[in-house]
Homo-oligomer: A and B are copies of this chain.
């Protein structure tokens, strides 16, 4: 990937920035999940809106659970052979791909401008997917990410570099995350469960069945779900671009030969060596990549620090996000996936 990186450094930062797009349709749907019944809970009286009369609320009954949300933008004239799915990571939603927290265009817009029909989704229990009563339907308790946990997990700075006071925070030298917008970014956080992986995977599988063949750009926690979606339906996914995936199948249990015809690109930011968790995650991904290669597949690695320093885990929000999107677009084109 060094040649690609070197070439990219000569690219204009945002080739299509500001370009209008002709849109046939913006739409959305929920997919996956099913009906669950809750019973035996007491009723109570509630007032839905200030000024509206009281209402006898019965929490028992039938509920939808386990669905996910998809929003798509269809261009009048797509330049790509397949739609592009943008899949977010843990504790976040599809907003990951929308404008950066400091207001620059994000990857949804970048890849629309590059000519892709783009779908952005919210996983089960995140964002517009909705979530369910616990412990009756979802098991266990939700996990809420603190602003400081994100600071270290997303490798903007060291664990002890976090402070509520922005002046007192310490970031990694040269970080490309727009740290003045860190507080704004953390408004994108949503709670998550750690007990719903089967539901999340099932909804992703249903999503893939509905809209693919397709290309996938996936971030962090989404990586493992998409690697597994590919194992289940290898004919449906024509490329996976995994941005810092945080998990992967185990070659001892999962047959990497099934996905050998899907080109993979793994993209990594900087400061991996500074964070103990990421030092443990990276070998899990490398093992899966090696297994696919061993079966004759193609897994390329775009390790940004080879040429570009300072990218965080949220590299689609970093100050060089347009450049990284352009690199990925170039890779997609090189794989023959544009018209």
Contacts and interface: CB of A to CB of B under 8 A. Distances in A.
Interface of A: 20-30, 33, 35, 37, 46-53, 55, 57-64, 67, 69, 71, 73, 76, 90, 93-95, 98-99, 103, 105, 108-109, 112, 122, 127-128, 130-133, 142-144, 146-149, 164, 183-184, 186-191, 194, 197, 220-221, 223-224, 246-250, 277, 280-281, 284
A140 to B, nearest CB: 9
Contacts of A146: 58-63
Closest 3 CB pairs of A and B: A61-B146, A49-B247, A51-B247
B52 A194 contact: no
B46 A187 contact: no
Given A164-B62, A246-B52, A281-B53, A94 B147 contact: no
B164 A35 contact: yes
A194 B48 CA distance: 6
A92 to B, nearest CB: 9
A131 B98 contact: no
30 contacts: A20-B22, A20-B24, A21-B23, A26-B109, A29-B99, A30-B184, A30-B187, A35-B147, A46-B143, A48-B221, A49-B90, A49-B220, A49-B223, A51-B248, A51-B249, A52-B280, A52-B284, A53-B277, A57-B143, A59-B144, A62-B148, A63-B186, A67-B187, A94-B128, A122-B128, A128-B190, A130-B187, A130-B188, A130-B191, A133-B142
Nearest to A99: B27
A98 B28 contact: yes
Nearest to A281: B52
A53 B247 CA distance: 9
Contacts of A23: 20-23
Nearest to A146: B61
A277 B26 contact: no
Contact of A28 (B22, B67, B99): B99
